[in-house]
Structure 1
Amino acid sequence: MAEPREHWLATPDGDICWFEWGTPSDGPSVLLLHATGFHARLWDQVVLHLPPGTHIIAPDLVGHGRSYRPATLVDWIANAAALLPLVDQFAGAPLVACGHSGGGYILTWLAAQRPGAFRHLLLIDPTIFDPDLYHPTGQPIPDPEDHPVARRRNAWDSADAMVARFAERLPYSAWQPAVLVDYCHYGLLPAPAGRGYELACPPALEASVYQGAQRTNPYGWLASLAVPTSIIRAKTGERDGPLDFSVSPTWPGLGELIRAVRDEQWSDHSHFIPMEAPQRLADLVADQI
């Protein structure tokens, strides 16, 4: 598939970058929402395996990629609401939407607000936790600098240097090599000082997303979600700390609660399903087009 076209969506707080492959038609369009800390071009290898001519939309979420950066991202609903104008722009065509991790959480909120815009949701190991893990409203927000992701390396000489450093290290060594290249080449921006590159999603900003992950309980809208939904979960197990993505964070009871039409575990994969199995995931998306 050809290179995507880059667009910008103006919002009161800043511009959101989004990418488009193909052109709208009478058939469904595909909306792809990436995970926390990543960017829209991590979907490139999934897009490559979708049927030729499919119309695809993939935004950089707020604070990610080339989209605008607020000071923090603890408010997950505000991050989701920023995408409503993009959903509305394509509401005339049924959307088959696929959201990974935090993108899956955001997708459920968008579908609750605009159920008529969606034909099918595919939630790929969404960060929707056990209901008992959500904090009461008003609880103090932890300092993002206290989260271990805030200490991620932020300065790089080049994308190739980033690829070389990660290629033999988990979890990246389990990814398809082309996905890792996309992650690094599109996930860096020129450093403001003029030398080298920095992560498009700064570590402290990414950490603030994690610090807000259990502040907004989604079960108020999930119980009434009306769009047909499929859930794909990674292997299960005990997490070994906040940066352990080898197992699924998704609450096992989610599928039954929302009456998912498909709820299955891909036990041979970690949380990073789109990076490890892009063709398998593309086939799943294509089944709904």
Structure 2
Amino acid sequence: MIFAHATGFHARVFDAIIAHFPDRRVISIDLRGHGRSTGGPIMHWNEIASDVCVLIDQLGIESAVGIGHSMGAHTLLQVAHDRPGAFARLVLFDPVILAPEFYAPAEPLFSADNPHPAARRKRDFASPEAMMERFRERDPYDLFDARVFEDYCRHGLLPRADGEGCELACPPEVEASVYASSRSNAGILETARAVDIPVWVVRARHSGLNDFKSSPTWSGLAASMPQGRDLYRPDRTHFHPFEDPEDAANIIRAAIDS
């Protein structure tokens, strides 16, 4: 099982889901610029997919089950196209793959003069406990399962170089660059049509692109794939795997058993 996380998160946010699969080999990836992986701001989402392709090649991965969330789900779909045979099936929780018209404009969503708000995030914390105290009752973190929230905070920080406290493992400028380049992989819809393995697309409720908790996923995505299956969950937000990891694990198990 190969797990790939959302923008601004890291590999360990899946620990609560992975606990439901004790008999399987699991690789959960810190994507470029996130967690313990190095890398600066991202100009094109295919940079991230290329990194994962290198990992797949080096480990000789074949016929894996790919589980991705948001940007990580988008990435695994691209990797499944670029490395045929690497995956036997995919489970994509709210992949950031939008309707065709989203990719039509040429201009970027954000710029140096108009950066994504994530660039202004607080980056320094005295400790993981301080981070938890700051975010525990804030939207959307107040939706998270308790274990997932603690894993997010404890593993989402690195010691500062000067030894004074901690800093975000995903620097704000990296997180902002991912959002700013979200139109970069304009060929992802063509990619989706060419991936001929079972792909479950798990979509949360849609309440508009200005709502961070809303599903950004094109409702026609699964139908565009040779073996796509659409699982619409209006009872969940974009943070479905963090809200209810047991439910997410059950969906993954059902996809595997199918």
TM-score interval (norm. to shorter): over 0.9
Per the alignment, do residues 136 and 168 of structure 1 end up closer, same or farther by CA in structure 2, a change over 3 Å counting? Answer: closer
Which among 262, 265, 274 is matched to residue 229 of structure 2?
262
Match of 1:216 in 2: 185
Match of 2:91 in 1: 122
Which among 199, 216, 219 is matched to residue 229 of structure 1?
199
Contact 1:135 1:215 in 2 (8 A): no
- Structure with greater proportional helix content: 2
Contact 2:108 2:183 in 1 (8 A): no
Percent identity (aligned): 39
Deviations 1:40-93 (A, max 9, x none): 00010001122x2211001100000010122x1121101110111221244454
- Structure 1's consecutive aligned runs of 4 or more residues displaced over 3 angstroms after TM superposition are 89-93, 135-141
Q: Which amino acid aligns with 2:231?
A: E
Match of 1:150 in 2: 119
Match of 1:102 in 2: 71
How much has 1:245 moved relative to structure 2?
2.1
RMSD over aligned CA atoms reads: 1.9
Q: Distance in 2 between matches of 1:167 and 1:95?
A: 35
Which among 145, 157, 171 is matched to residue 202 of structure 1?
171
After superposition, where does 1:1-289 map in structure 2 within 5 Å? 30-50=1-21, 52-70=22-40, 72-91=41-60, 93-135=62-104, 142-143=111-112, 146-217=115-186, 218-239=188-209, 241=210, 244-287=211-254, 288=256
Q: Distance in 2 between matches of 1:257 and 1:264?
A: 14
Match of 1:25 in 2: none
- Unmatched 5+ residue regions in structure 2? none
Contact 1:144 1:204 in 2 (8 A): no
Contact 2:74 2:97 in 1 (8 A): yes
Q: Distance in 2 between matches of 1:148 and 1:169?
A: 16
How much has 1:170 moved relative to structure 2?
1.3
How much has 1:143 moved relative to structure 2?
2.1
Contact 1:188 1:199 in 2 (8 A): yes
Query: TM-score scaled to structure 2, two decimals?
Result: 0.93
Match of 1:20 in 2: none
Q: Distance in 2 between matches of 1:285 and 1:90?
A: 23
How much has 1:236 moved relative to structure 2?
1.4
How much has 1:273 moved relative to structure 2?
1.1
Number of matched pairs: 255
Contact 1:122 1:229 in 2 (8 A): yes
Q: Distance in 2 between matches of 1:135 and 1:236?
A: 21
Q: Distance in 2 between matches of 1:253 and 1:205?
A: 30
Contact 1:163 1:184 in 2 (8 A): yes
Q: Distance in 2 between matches of 1:47 and 1:102?
A: 19
